[in-house]
């Protein structure tokens, strides 16, 4: 766990961005970190762009400044692009995507030494008959690559704590499917 970390979670209204942020926040909280977050409510929740800022460490302000996010999780390809300006040099990006990144973006990420990983999170969730759990599929996918921030076990534990009883098993299943997809991609 590092001292300071800025995380951007983005997507569209209704995709469960707030729940993802909550999982990450509680994972940080369980390690004794200070956290600040900023989320979107109101009009945009009716299907518009939704973005959530999460800041781990000692800060005062809730908004992440352009060029200073180390991690970006995105449930929608376009929303990922729209928020690229937040990424710090060397940032890691995880995107819900079932094809290649646009070439211009790919070139930019390479140029800035950023790494990115994509998974068809929507399809993964749908396969398990949980079409509204794309968020957890992407979370599992991210967990496969996350050795230093939270780790898969901790994230799984937080999901256990935060899930309402009737969704717990499904949530685990989707998370694990995302995790398995990620593990199989790893070198």
Footprint on this chain of another protein (rule: CB under 8 A): 12-14, 21-22, 25-26, 29, 34-49, 59-68, 78, 81-82, 84-85, 87-88, 102, 104-105, 108, 112, 122, 131
Instruction: Give 19 or 183: the residue with its C-beta nearer to another protein.
Output: 19
Asked if residue 126 lies in contact with residue 177, where contact means CB atoms within 8 angstroms, the answer is no
User: What minimum distance in Å lies between the beta carbon of 131 and another protein?
Assistant: 6
Residue closer to another protein, measured from CB, 9 or 144: 9
Task: Kindly state the smallest distance separating residue 39's Cβ from another protein, in Å.
Answer: 5
CA dist., res. 154 & res. 49, Å (int): 29
SS3 (DSSP) at 61: coil
Q: Name the burial class of residue 126, with classes exposed (0-12), middle (13-18) and buried (19+) by CB atoms within 10 angstroms of its CB.
A: middle
Residue 83 CB, nearest distance to another protein (Å)? 9
Question: Which one, 35 or 149, has the nearer CB to another protein?
Answer: 35
Q: Cα(46)–Cα(81) distance, rounded to whole angstroms?
A: 21
């Amino acid at each position: 766990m590092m001292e300071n970390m800025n995380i951007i979670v983005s997507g569209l209204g209704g995709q469960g961005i707030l729940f993802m942020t909550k999982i990450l926040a509680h994972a940080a909280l369980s390690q004794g970190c200070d956290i600040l977050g900023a989320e979107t409510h109101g009009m945009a929740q009716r299907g518009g762009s939704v973005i959530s800022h999460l800041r781990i460490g000692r800060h005062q302000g809730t908004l992440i400044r352009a060029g200073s996010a180390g991690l970006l999780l995105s449930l929608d390809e376009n929303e990922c692009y729209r928020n690229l300006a937040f990424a710090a040099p060397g940032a890691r990006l995880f995107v819900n995507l079932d094809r290649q990144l646009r070439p211009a973006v790919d070139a930019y990420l390479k140029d800035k030494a950023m790494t990115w990983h994509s998974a068809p999170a929507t399809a993964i969730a749908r396969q398990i008959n949980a079409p509204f759990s794309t968020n957890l599929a992407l979370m599992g996918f991210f967990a496969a690559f996350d050795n230093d921030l939270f780790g898969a076990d901790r994230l799984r534990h937080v999901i256990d704590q935060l899930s309402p009883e009737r969704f717990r098993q499904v949530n685990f299943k989707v998370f694990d499917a995302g995790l398995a997809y990620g593990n199989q991609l790893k070198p």
